[in-house]
Amino acid sequence: MRNGHDALLAGACALATVTLILLLLGGRGGRRRNPALPHCQPAPRAPAGSAANEGAELARLRQAYITAVRDSLTGVHLQTPAVVPGAGSELQQEPFAAEQRSGGLDWPLYGATMVGTTRLNNLQELLTSVLQENVPGSFVECGVWRGGASVFAKAVLSAHGSDREVHLVDSFQGLPPNTTAQDKHDWYEMEYLRVSQDQVADVFQRYGLLDGQVHFHKGYFRYALPAWKAQGGVGPIAVLRMDGDMFESTMDQLYNLYDAVSPGGYIIIDDYTIPECHRAVHEFLERHGLQHRITQVDYVGAWLRKDKEEPPVDQSWYQTFNASRAAEHA
């Protein structure tokens, strides 16, 4: 599976790059059209001759690049098959289904993200918002799998000429075994979710997006996030993307990172409709008297905006919760 994944990922990266080159050439000469790539068709070019038209052309090319990267990362370009979610390593394959892939409802066999195009579009919108409004801070993703959502965020930032930092927090060995009765052991048994840091860095490298602004923080959230905070490295966060699935992982993210999210910044809850995650989010908000509007993106994901400065998070509940947790064990 690894060799097949390498070959298809390399092909998808090359396809995204060639698409961008063709679009750039099309911006200077005639319009190039490839009927095999319906998701990457450039919008009609603005007539040349004015600064406004040149700005519109730049925006068109920027969006064409972002779309090419998105459809490459999700496996849409090559219509890669999916696997049925489950435990173990021998998983049943299913043919590509556009609606499933768009909604992030399948696990791509060959692809760098299972987020789906709808949630990646939303991620682009939120990143563009913080750039336009000068909301300070980095992009942080907790729970990255093969790294596709963070690669996409880096692509969006780079396409806008931004050098904001991108932080990836993950065990890089799958989800943890549950340490309380709030969660089940099932997540830990899903071998398909175990992806090494080197594999994730390799995806960044293949897209030409691995640089000094990309940072990796390895460990289960309950350890990696406090360690990062203790090092003084958690600066302001403009967009926090939470993808931890479990009750305890969601609490780890909120109690360790919520205070760092800038006023005007966004929190993306990738697993909002998973009962354990949903319960953790609402318990946290209610415990702190927060009444944020939560906007659902698709069947699974949602986001909220931290629209003003707020009092620091009360850590007393979290300290008690941590004291009650068992040590991780298989």
Residue pair 37/72 in contact by the 8 Å Cβ criterion: no
Residue pair 116/103 in contact by the 8 Å Cβ criterion: yes
Residue pair 265/130 in contact by the 8 Å Cβ criterion: yes
Closest CA to 109 of 99, 96, 118, 120: 96
Q: How confident is the model at residue 3 (pLDDT cuts 50, 70, 90)?
A: very low
**What pTM did the predictor assign?**
0.85
Closest CA to 298 of 274, 275, 273: 273
- Per-residue pLDDT tens over the stretch 125-147: 999 999 999 999 999 999 999 99
Rounded to the nearest angstrom, the gap between the alpha carbon of residue 234 and the centroid of all alpha carbons in its chain is 18
Highest mean pLDDT among 23-27, 105-109, 179-183: 105-109
Q: Is the dihedral of CA 221, 223, 226, 230 positive or negative?
A: negative
